[in-house]
Amino acid sequence: MLGQITFDAGRSYELSVVPLFILILLLGLVLVGCQATRVGYESAPYKVVRSEGEFAVRDYPALMIVETPMAAANGGDGSFMRLFRFITGANEGKQKIAMTTPVFMSGSATNATMAFVLPAKLKTGEVPKPADGAVTVRELAAGRFAVLRFSGGRNAKNEAETLARLKEWMEAEKLGVLSPPVYGYFDPPWTPAFLRRNEVMLRTDAAK
């Protein structure tokens, strides 16, 4: 099926309507699929205290996390799989635990960690002991965090630029920084970069 577009110069160009429709349909399916994947997981709970455009201040309760050292970006050193094996049965009692979002990453290039948030229904005494000695379970203290959402793939440039923007905003708003940054990644790696939900978080003493 073909249509025609006529520009001011009087020349007519044929436009293929069917391929354009298919492209729009496929894009729509990708958007829906990405949203459905994200919605399918329990996410770390929080309360929005303040919101200003892309920036937000949130209160988080104490969170139980399972954590492991990370020596390579995006868990390429096996860190992601260590955590994944834990929630799929590599633990005392071979208990299956639901995946959640986001995946937290923090620390420097030489001393970084990756962490999964454990489901809220699992209390401290109910979390099984990891079978892998490189995996630990601990509580992430409750607190107030300044947060900035961003898209794109995980890379040092993207993270550094977003962190700089968040710090600049916090300075302008007179919000103190109490901890190194934590990055939260919500989407699986096959999600197109421009559709990904990523966040950088800084613990703050914000009273506003």
Cα–Cα distance, 181 to 84 (Å, whole number)? 23
All structural domains of the chain with their residue ranges: 2-39, 45-61+142-208, 66-140
**79: β partners:** none
What's the mean pLDDT when you consider all of the chain?
84
Domain 45-61+142-208 has CATH 3.30.9: no
- Give pLDDT < 70 ranges for the chain: 1-39, 73-75, 206-208
Q: At the fourth CATH level, which superfamily is domain 66-140?
A: Regulatory factor, effector binding domain (3.20.80.10)
Cα–Cα distance, 50 to 145 (Å, whole number)? 10
Cα–Cα distance, 180 to 46 (Å, whole number)? 19
pLDDT by residue (tens digit) across 81-94? 999 999 999 999 89
pLDDT by residue (tens digit) across 135-151? 999 999 999 999 999 99
Tell me which residue of 141, 131, 71, 64 sits closest to 105, measured CA to CA. Answer: 71
Cα–Cα distance, 29 to 57 (Å, whole number)? 32
Tell me which residue of 152, 148, 157, 208 sits closest to 183, measured CA to CA. Answer: 148
Rg (CA), the chain: 21
**Hey, what are 60's tokens?**
């988080």
Long-range contacts of 27-32 (CB under 8 A, 24+ apart): 30/192, 30/195, 31/195
**Hey, what are 3's tokens?**
């249509």
Global pTM reads 0.79
Cα–Cα distance, 116 to 172 (Å, whole number)? 32
pLDDT by residue (tens digit) across 32-58? 444 444 457 899 999 999 999 999 999
